[in-house]
């Protein structure tokens, strides 16, 4: 094919800024590979609440369903923080992930040689390398379980249920093992099986499926230990497979050891080729609208879009090389800036990457 339909959801805050930068890069890469991309901009999140009265308008979900891929910036912000749970901007994300059946969230964290100075870890730890992939379950668990308010002994109470079934665990586990086969052939299940019954089911199912992958090593870590090990010795990790909430938390930590949350991309995939691509960071209200955000996580998410939804691995490599080259030239946004480098804003960083395509 030489023409694709891409749904674009800039969202709120820096989502708008980083998405603008990524779209230009996508256009140039597409032209280089003689492919036409038709972008359709859609509303979701806080801006959708303001303009359409709800975080995820039906039309947005319908358009995404018809597209080849979705590029999303970020949603949310203080303006909408006091709305009730089901009316908040973040609900749009869950609606998109669930509605599009995107159960597998791939979050690769690797350290670029050029960015070693930006990592808070010691050289002796970084020297061993950081190249891990968090495979986060995305449409189940506590995010999607029953939740509500009640009273207990006359006190206000609230609950969120963590529920996982065998089907949900099996498919994400297979995603993790398949990914490991293309990498260093090691899967680590991160859970809390010493406490949670749902984690004990994860272990049973993962053990069963591991038998189909005798060429891949499997080990297990409790999530508290995993959080510690990520800082102590990140080189030990290849693929981490974990639940929705643990994956959310560990991926922010994983991003920082590679330099910044502004560097970490993600792909959310389901059964078909339709995927949604977004940086792991949020709308960053503290720096929004000031041309301060690092657009590289979103630009690298666009690379994942080319690779996973359009089958254009070379275009993805072009983008990754361009990013590496700009870092090699010494340009840094504030989040990854250290002494001796040149500080640039969101727009300039986008233009620098564009020039390298
Ligand atoms: P955040 O990721 O938006 O910001 C955390 C910190 O990292 C802030 O100091 C921010 O300035 C910094 N940061 C984030 N991205 C950056 C970038 N590209 N360049 C430089 N610095 C960056 O997390 P938060 O502050 O907890 O959440 C803010 C809002 O975003 C909330 O409404 C939250 O619900 C929402 N959120 C949305 C998504 C999403 O849409 N996928 C993800 C996370 C949070
Ligand atoms: C992320 C975000 C979301 C999540 C929130 C905003 C719903 O933190 O994409 O990492 O927890 O999945
Ligand atoms: Mn998160």
Per-10-residue mean pLDDT, the chain, length 357: 97 98 98 98 98 98 98 98 95 98 98 96 97 98 98 98 98 98 98 98 98 98 98 98 98 98 98 98 98 98 98 98 98 98 98 98
Q: Which helix (H) or strand (E) holds 209?
A: helix 197-210
CB atoms under 10 Å from CB of 76, counted, come to 24
Instruction: Say how far apart CA 12 and CA 219 lie, in whole Å.
Output: 39
Q: Which residues pair with 5 in a beta bridge?
A: 38
The per-residue pLDDT for 226 is: 98
Two tokens, residue 75: 């949603």
Q: For a ligand 1 pocket test, name from 43, 79, 83, 283 the mutation site with the most ligand atoms within 8 angstroms of its C-beta.
A: 283
Domains of the chain: 1-103+266-357 (3.40.718.10), 120-257 (3.40.718.10)
Which ligand 1 atom lies nearest to the CA of residue 81?
A: 32
Residue 298 near residue 25, CB atoms below 8 Å: no
| Closest listed ligand to the CA of 95 | 2
The per-residue pLDDT for 282 is: 98
Whole-model pTM: value is: 0.98
The per-residue pLDDT for 57 is: 98
Residue of the CA atom closest to atom 7 of ligand 2 = 90
The per-residue pLDDT for 104 is: 99
The per-residue pLDDT for 223 is: 98
The counts of H helices and E strands in the chain are 12, 14
Two tokens, residue 12: 């709120």
Which ligand 2 atom lies nearest to the CA of residue 94?
A: 7
Two tokens, residue 305: 């879009």
Is residue 116 flagged as an active site residue?
no
Q: What is the ipTM of this complex?
A: 0.99
CA atoms within 13 A on the CB side of 111: 24
Secondary structure (3-state) at 71: strand
The per-residue pLDDT for 216 is: 98
The per-residue pLDDT for 119 is: 98
Q: Label residue 336 exposed, middle or buried (CB < 10 Å: 0-12, 13-18, 19+).
A: buried
């Amino acid at each position: 094919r030489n023409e694709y339909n891409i749904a674009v959801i800039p969202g709120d805050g820096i989502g708008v800024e980083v998405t603008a930068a990524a779209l230009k890069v996508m256009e140039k890469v597409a032209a280089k590979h003689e492919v036409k991309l038709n972008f359709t901009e859609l509303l979701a999140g806080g801006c959708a609440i303001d303009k359409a009265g709800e975080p995820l308008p039906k039309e947005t979900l319908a358009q995404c369903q018809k597209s080849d891929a979705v590029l999303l910036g970020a949603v949310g912000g203080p303006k909408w923080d006091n709305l009730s749970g089901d009316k908040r901007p973040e609900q749009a994300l869950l609606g998109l992930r669930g509605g599009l059946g995107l159960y597998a969230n791939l979050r690769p964290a690797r350290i670029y040689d050029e960015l070693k100075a930006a990592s808070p870890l010691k050289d002796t730890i970084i020297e061993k390398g950081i190249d891990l992939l968090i495979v986060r379950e995305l449409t189940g668990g506590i995010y999607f379980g029953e939740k509500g308010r009640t009273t207990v002994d006359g006190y206000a109470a609230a609950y969120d249920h963590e529920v996982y079934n065998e089907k949900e665990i099996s498919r994400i586990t297979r995603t993790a093992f398949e990914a490991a086969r293309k990498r260093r052939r090691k899967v680590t299940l991160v859970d809390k099986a010493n406490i949670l019954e749902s984690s004990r089911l994860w272990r049973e199912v993962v053990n069963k499926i591991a038998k189909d992958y005798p060429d891949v090593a499997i080990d297990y870590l409790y999530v508290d230990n995993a959080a510690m090990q990520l800082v102590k010795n990140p080189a030990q990790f290849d693929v981490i497979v974990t639940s929705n909430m643990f994956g959310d938390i560990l991926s922010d930590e994983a991003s920082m050891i590679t330099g910044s949350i502004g560097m970490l991309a993600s792909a959310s995939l389901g059964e078909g080729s339709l995927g949604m691509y977004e940086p792991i960071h949020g709308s960053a209200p503290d720096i929004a609208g000031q041309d301060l955000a690092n657009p590289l996580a979103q630009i690298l998410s666009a690379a994942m879009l080319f690779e996973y939804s359009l089958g254009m691995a070379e275009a993805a490599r072009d983008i990754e090389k361009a990013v590496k080259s700009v870092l090699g030239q010494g340009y840094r946004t504030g989040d990854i800036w250290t002494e001796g480098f040149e500080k640039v804003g969101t727009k300039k960083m986008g233009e620098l990457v564009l020039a390298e395509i």
